[in-house]
C-alpha cells in the first residue's frame, strides 16, 4: 500500500490520479463538480439545507478554496455546521431556512436528520428505515432575494453557484430566489424518482422549473438507489446558465 501511495503522489504531481475501475458514484461526483466549478470559475457557493456541513466539507476535500455560504435552520446540525465552517474558512453560516416567503414554519425533524423536511414523510422503507418524524421545530424562513445583500456583505466573489438540498422543498427555495437568480452561473438540486415525502415534486417537474429560469442540464450525480442496489431513488441535477453555452 505504501508503494501505491508513492506512485499516486507522483502521478498527481503530473496531473494524473489512480482511481478504482469502474468509477464509484462518489468518484464521478467529485470529478463532475471539479469540472463544473473550473468551467464556470465558481468562487462562491450558496449551500442551502447544509445539515452538518457535509457538502461544504466535500468541496474543501476536492480542492475548492472559495467562499461557502451555508443555510441550516435546525439547531443541532447547525451547531456542528458552525464548528466545521470555523475550521475550514472562508465559510459563513446562517441559522434559517430559505423558502418562497419570509416568516416562521414548523419543520419535521426525522430520526435521521439528513431527512428532516418541511414536507410530511411517507414513512420508513427498506432503503430509508429512519424516514420517520421524531419531533418538530419552529424555524425562521427567509427568501434568498430578501437577504442576498446581507449574506454577501464583505464578499467580492461574483461567480455564484446555488446548491439546494432541502428534502422536497427545493422549488420553494428557487421561487424565493427569483430576484437574484440571474447572479448565479450554476445550480444543483436534488431530484426524486421515488417519492419519500407527501407532495414532493417529480424529477421532471423540478428540472422544468430550472429550465424555465434559464438553466440547462449539465449532468446528474447519484444520491441514493432503491434498496441501495440498482434502481435510482434520488439524484443531484447540475445546471449551468444555458445562454452562456448556446
In this prediction, residue 19 has a pLDDT band, given cuts at 50, 70 and 90, of: low
- Residue 11 phi/psi, 5-degree rounding, is -65, -40
Residues 6+ apart with CB under 8 A from 185: 40, 41, 42, 159, 160, 161, 240, 241, 244
Tell me how many degrees the CA angle 122-123-128 measures, rounded to the nearest 5.
Answer: 110
Name the one residue in this structure whose C-alpha cell is 427568501.
143
- What predicted TM-score, i.e. pTM, was given to this entire model? 0.90
What's the CA gap between 91 and 69, in Å, rounded?
A: 6
Tell me how many degrees the CA angle 133-134-140 measures, rounded to the nearest 5.
Answer: 80
Q: Which three cell numbers stand for residue 22?
A: 469502474
Percent of the chain at pLDDT above 90?
83
> Which pLDDT belongs to residue 229?
84
In this prediction, residue 20 has a pLDDT band, given cuts at 50, 70 and 90, of: low
Question: Strands 67-71, 103-110: parallel, antiparallel or unpaired by DSSP?
Answer: unpaired
Question: Strands 91-94, 97-98: parallel, antiparallel or unpaired by DSSP?
Answer: unpaired
> How confident is the model over 198-225, as pLDDT tens digits?
999 999 999 999 999 999 999 999 999 9
Amino acid at each position: 500500500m505504501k508503494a501505491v501511495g508513492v506512485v499516486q503522489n507522483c502521478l498527481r504531481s503530473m496531473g494524473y490520479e489512480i482511481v478504482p475501475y469502474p468509477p464509484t458514484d462518489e468518484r464521478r461526483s467529485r470529478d463532475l463538480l471539479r469540472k463544473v466549478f473550473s468551467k464556470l470559475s465558481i468562487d462562491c457557493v450558496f449551500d442551502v439545507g447544509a445539515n452538518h456541513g457535509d457538502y461544504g466539507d466535500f468541496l474543501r476535500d476536492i480542492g475548492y478554496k472559495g467562499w461557502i455560504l451555508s443555510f441550516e435552520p435546525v439547531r443541532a446540525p447547525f451547531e456542528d455546521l458552525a464548528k466545521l465552517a470555523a475550521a475550514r474558512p472562508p465559510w459563513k453560516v446562517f441559522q434559517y431556512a430559505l423558502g418562497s416567503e419570509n416568516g416562521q414554519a414548523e419543520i419535521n425533524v426525522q430520526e435521521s436528520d439528513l431527512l428532516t423536511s418541511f414536507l410530511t414523510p411517507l414513512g420508513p422503507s427498506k432503503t430509508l428505515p429512519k424516514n420517520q418524524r421524531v419531533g418538530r421545530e419552529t424555524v425562521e424562513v427567509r427568501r434568498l432575494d430578501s437577504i442576498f445583500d446581507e449574506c454577501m456583505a464583505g464578499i467580492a466573489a461574483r461567480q455564484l453557484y446555488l446548491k439546494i438540498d432541502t428534502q422536497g422543498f427545493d422549488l420553494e427555495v428557487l421561487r424565493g430566489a427569483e430576484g437574484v437568480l440571474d447572479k448565479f452561473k450554476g445550480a444543483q438540486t436534488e431530484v426524486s424518482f421515488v417519492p419519500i415525502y407527501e407532495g414532493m415534486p417529480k424529477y421532471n417537474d423540478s428540472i422544468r422549473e430550472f429550465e424555465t429560469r434559464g438553466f440547462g442540464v449539465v449532468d446528474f450525480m447519484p444520491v441514493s438507489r432503491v434498496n441501495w442496489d440498482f434502481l435510482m431513488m434520488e439524484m443531484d441535477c447540475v445546471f449551468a446558465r444555458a445562454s452562456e453555452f448556446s
